[in-house]
Structure 1
């Protein structure tokens, strides 16, 4: 079965402790629903983008710098990997994720 990434986007200044009790409850319920449906492969939250390390190879040697690879106002804050039959099904779960997380979500298929 194809796998899909459902990625949650947070603003740079997002603090996980700032999530409301209602949002935490809704995210937990969504996780329970995914488990019950047998589609959840993996779920994970990420540390702040500011804590990332970026590695580039400008002259054949890896160069490590502090911070995210892209300078943007939003970054991936967490994600699910789901086993689903179709992109349409993945988008349906992405809608549920956007509602539960109260934040933009991106859905992409793995190759």
Structure 2
């Protein structure tokens, strides 16, 4: 996301408008931002703590949004709306529900 600081409020409002639209459509589940002030930390299976993150995600920032949608095509349309609002590319992933959660 390469947006001048003075344009961030406009981008933020555009993103919130897409979230409001998703809520009105009944597809919104949750969304949030990454707290850049809190550095990432890894916790290994044995409980060992390490500063940092996986090399492939070292540049991850911003946030995420989870929507419940009927098809991949619908997900692509919503991702395009979010990308337009945020003025940057979005990564689209499919999330599977755990039947016991």
Corresponding residue number in structure 2 for 1:70: 55
User: Is residue 77 of structure 2 the alignment partner of residue 92 of structure 1?
Assistant: yes
Looking at secondary structure, tell me which structure has more helix per residue. Answer: 2
Q: Structure 1 pair 91/76, CA: closer, same or farther in 2 (3 Å)?
A: farther
Count matched residues.
94
| Runs (5+) with no aligned partner, structure 2 | 97-101
Following the alignment from structure 1 to structure 2, what is the Cα–Cα distance between the partners of residues 81 and 104?
Answer: 16
Q: CA RMSD in A?
A: 2.5
Moved over 4 A (4+): none
Looking at secondary structure, tell me which structure has more strand per residue. Answer: 1
Following the alignment from structure 1 to structure 2, what is the Cα–Cα distance between the partners of residues 26 and 33?
Answer: 11
The two structures have a TM-score, normalised by structure 1, of 0.71
The two structures have a TM-score, normalised by structure 2, of 0.77
Structure number with the bigger relative contact order (C-alpha 8 A, sep ≥ 6) is: 1
**CA drift at 1:21:** 2.3
- Return the match for 1:45 from 27, 33, 44: 33
